Structure 1
Amino acid sequence: MAAIAPGGRIGILGGGQLGRMLAMAAAELGHKCHIYCPDDEVPAADVAAALTRAPYDDADALARFADSVDVVTYEFENVPAETARILSEHAPVRPGAAALATAQDRLTEKNFLKRNGIATAPFADVADTDDLAAALAAIGAPAVLKTRRMGYDGKGQAKILAPKAAAAAWDAIGRLPAILEGFVDFEREISVVVARGLDGEVAAYDPVENIHTNHILDRTFAPAALTPALADEARAIATKIVSELDYAGVMGVEMFVGRDGRLLVNEIAPRVHNSGHWTMDACAVSQFEQHIRAICGWPLGSPARHSDAVMTNLIGADAGKWSAVAAEPGAKLHLYGKAEARAGRKMGHVNRLYPLGKRPPVTPR
């Protein structure tokens, strides 16, 4: 399959910060990006060559968009199946349909992992209250009820600390098709950002440790404090996932490290990932450049770190601290060009770099 040479045009579904950083990375490799997004505010369009503002179900607009580019990618995994089908009739869509279908449905995702011998928390399909009662009897409480589709940053989830709370949890998620997951007694949350090229080449970044606040990623510590054997196992799991999906592009694989030392996969994200933002300044090739390389058929770059790093998300009013961050030695500020700093909204991030082996310990803010 021929590589897309410099000067190619890359279509990106979604106009948020991930699309913005993909477009910036593509420009550094000589490509031009065309953003497709229905929103009024499109931060990615500020750094792209073209913008189509249209709904994701506008078949004519999608066809014109796909005809104008050499490849289509996306910054979010909940691309409607019909949207992906229309686009694929006019241009390659990477990552492909199998990855989208797997990641869009938590039950499909968990069953895929189970079939491939990859450990997860115990889970069960929940379509109604009878299923929920049976799942609680099998898995026990505490547990968490999650909608099968569309949940992110803690949305579409309800904890069940005791069986008597099941009805309230079912109502809280809107009585939608769901899965019940058992709680995991974990030591830490980690993730691996992994890339796979069109030729099957795989490059996995070092596992990192993630700290969440109110279900939103707060900080990422690179690298995670793991034994070499456990870090290798985490990379091997991520590699197996992208290989089994015949994947092209970058994926984020979130995992728990159990107190018993086992690795359990929590979820996969078929796109560039918030926990990979540290690679922009601590690696020669960032996750964003790596994704562009992968979907364009280029050789993958080295995922090696030249520095340790701590990535901190700037949420809401945090972005107002830009002046102090900009004056801080060893800190690299990335702002997303969003006009309104709302509570819970990701406005930017800062990467703080340290010599190899010298990153600070994981501590509460």
Structure 2
Amino acid sequence: MSRERTVGVMGGGQLGRYFVQSAQRLGLDTVVLDPVPGGPAGAIAHQQITAAYDDTRAWADLARRCCAVTTEFENVPADALRWLAGNTSDPTRVAPGADAVAISQDRLREKTFFADCGLPTAPWAALKASADTAQRQTQLDQAAGAVTFPALLKTARLGYDGKGQISVNSAADLAAAWAQLGHADAILEQRLALQQEISVLVARDAHGASVCWPVQVNHHHGGILAHTRVGFALVAPALADAARDAARRIAQALDYCGVLCIEFFCVADAAAPGGQRLVVNEMAPRPHNSGHYSIDACDMSQFDAQARVLAGWSLPEPQLLAPAVMLNLLGDAWWGADGRLREPDWSAIMGWGGVHLHLYGKKDAQPGRKMGHITVTAPRAADAQARASQIARHLGLAGMESLHDAA
């Protein structure tokens, strides 16, 4: 393989798999760095380096093979990306950059960064790890005074899909919740009365030009994304424009390169135009689960864009070809009411038009584990939603009440 035509990805899950597929369609060779052999991405890449993400010898091997490297998850060591970008003996294009990834890995830094960008967040307070009992109590008192309960206590690092989060209903519960997290660095965040959760995908190339996909409306169940709707006119145009503008502002402030997902809350505000305002929740420096619909419903998917950026190519503005509903398939769907593991019955739904089934090739179906997704497209949004609701009922998918109610 020619190094000039080879791109690498750190991470071997489903996001890496789709990136590899997009890169290969563009005629690029691919290398996956993943400690687990034969994962979803490694199974289809041209080559795999089987090593830990903090293995410096693996970094050097990746740099030797690839002209450009990306990551499929934000918890890859930022130092690895920094080393690859600064390795003068073998210069490697890295997207996203280490600084952007490092900010996203720490909720305290992330909230401060959003504030520096002039973007509103939910009221929050920091709790810093300390062995001193008096210092802990001072921080608890200050945090309790900074938010209105109920609130969420979140670990500052390594939390995702609802992990590392504890609901806190009163100031009296806060000390026990922090102890449950081992008194690690944490953030106490006020719960907001949400009307909607939305996200925006933005892609920015090495020259600073950026493009955005349509605003995505998301619904979570148990802290994990259940479904995403796009092309439904569920978000006021002014609010959608504001979300895309904010996403571009964040990407520019980061001097970002690659695909970035920004998640927002929509909250009621009588003083705001249309009675709603945006609150920034968090960012993911990579393609995102809520953007999976773009594979089947857009002329350029989020993974196509990531591959284009790594190749050093320009980006067209993506076009939504049809309204779409994306349904997450978690391992729960593989377990019957009798407690037995079995493959879901795909036969009926595969005979329905506009149904796009994606299975990630994971062998171990565990509750809460993302095993695949289904994207439903139709000329009319109402038809896509009705079909998605029908599929969710057929497969017994949880967290689909908002689809069923409107279908």
- Give the TM-score taking structure 2 as reference length: 0.85
Q: Indicate whether 1:324 and 2:348 are aligned.
A: yes
Q: What is the match of residue 215 of structure 2?
A: 207
Match for 1:285: what amino acid? M
Equivalent in 227, 230, 237 of residue 228 of structure 1: 237
Q: Indicate whether 1:63 and 2:78 are aligned.
A: no
Q: Please tell me whether the aligned partners of residues 26 and 292 of structure 1 are also in contact (alpha carbons under 8 angstroms).
A: yes
Aligned equivalents of 1:279 and 1:61: distance in 2?
32
Equivalent in 179, 182, 189 of residue 187 of structure 2: 179
Match for 2:353: what amino acid? P
Aligned equivalents of 1:194 and 1:136: distance in 2?
35
Q: What is the match of residue 291 of structure 2?
A: 276
List runs of 5+ in structure 2 lacking aligned partners.
Answer: 129-135, 270-275, 335-342, 387-401
Equivalent in 243, 264, 268 of residue 255 of structure 1: 264
Match for 2:403: what amino acid? T
Q: Please tell me whether the aligned partners of residues 325 and 333 of structure 1 are also in contact (alpha carbons under 8 angstroms).
A: no
Question: How far is the alpha carbon of 1:349 from its aligned partner?
Answer: 0.5
Aligned equivalents of 1:191 and 1:289: distance in 2?
19
SS at match of 2:42: helix
SS at match of 2:347: helix
Question: How far is the alpha carbon of 1:186 from its aligned partner?
Answer: 1.2
Q: Indicate whether 1:47 and 2:87 are aligned.
A: no
Aligned equivalents of 2:80 and 2:381: distance in 1?
45
Q: Indicate whether 1:363 and 2:378 are aligned.
A: no
Q: Please tell me whether the aligned partners of residues 78 and 99 of structure 2 are also in contact (alpha carbons under 8 angstroms).
A: no
Q: Indicate whether 1:100 and 2:101 are aligned.
A: yes
Q: Indicate whether 1:354 and 2:374 are aligned.
A: no
Q: Indicate whether 1:301 and 2:323 are aligned.
A: no
Aligned equivalents of 1:25 and 1:47: distance in 2?
12
Equivalent in 338, 350, 357 of residue 362 of structure 2: 338
Q: What is the match of residue 195 of structure 1?
A: 203
Q: Please tell me whether the aligned partners of residues 74 and 284 of structure 2 are also in contact (alpha carbons under 8 angstroms).
A: yes
Q: What is the match of residue 71 of structure 2?
A: 74
Q: Please tell me whether the aligned partners of residues 203 and 210 of structure 2 are also in contact (alpha carbons under 8 angstroms).
A: yes
Deviations 1:139-180 (A, max 9, x none): 121111111110000111111111111122112222110111
Higher Cα Rg, which structure: 2
User: Please, what is the CA RMSD of the aligned residues?
Assistant: 1.8
Deviations 1:104-154 (A, max 9, x none): 111111111101111110111111342122111121211111111100001
- Give the TM-score taking structure 1 as reference length: 0.95
Aligned equivalents of 2:316 and 2:177: distance in 1?
45
Aligned equivalents of 1:214 and 1:357: distance in 2?
26
Aligned equivalents of 2:310 and 2:362: distance in 1?
27
Aligned equivalents of 2:280 and 2:311: distance in 1?
28
SS at match of 1:329: coil
Question: How far is the alpha carbon of 1:327 from its aligned partner?
Answer: 2.3
SS at match of 1:200: coil
Q: Please tell me whether the aligned partners of residues 11 and 69 of structure 1 are also in contact (alpha carbons under 8 angstroms).
A: yes
Question: How far is the alpha carbon of 1:311 from its aligned partner?
Answer: 0.1
The percent of aligned pairs where both chains have the same amino acid is 43
Q: Please tell me whether the aligned partners of residues 195 and 248 of structure 1 are also in contact (alpha carbons under 8 angstroms).
A: yes
Question: How far is the alpha carbon of 1:271 from its aligned partner?
Answer: 0.2
Q: Which runs of 4+ in 1 moved over 6 A?
A: none
Aligned equivalents of 2:64 and 2:122: distance in 1?
43
SS at match of 1:262: strand
Aligned equivalents of 1:317 and 1:178: distance in 2?
30
Aligned equivalents of 1:82 and 1:73: distance in 2?
13
Q: Indicate whether 1:315 and 2:347 are aligned.
A: no
Aligned equivalents of 2:240 and 2:323: distance in 1?
15
Q: What is the match of residue 242 of structure 1?
A: 251
Match for 2:319: what amino acid? A
Q: What is the match of residue 147 of structure 2?
A: 139
Matches within 5 A, 1:163-178: 163-178=171-186
List runs of 5+ in structure 1 lacking aligned partners.
Answer: none
Q: Indicate whether 1:12 and 2:24 are aligned.
A: no
Aligned equivalents of 1:340 and 1:129: distance in 2?
43
Q: Please tell me whether the aligned partners of residues 3 and 64 of structure 2 are also in contact (alpha carbons under 8 angstroms).
A: no
Q: Please tell me whether the aligned partners of residues 145 and 180 of structure 1 are also in contact (alpha carbons under 8 angstroms).
A: yes
Equivalent in 162, 168, 177 of residue 160 of structure 1: 168
Q: Please tell me whether the aligned partners of residues 34 and 42 of structure 2 are also in contact (alpha carbons under 8 angstroms).
A: no
Question: How far is the alpha carbon of 1:6 from its aligned partner?
Answer: 11
Aligned equivalents of 1:343 and 1:242: distance in 2?
34
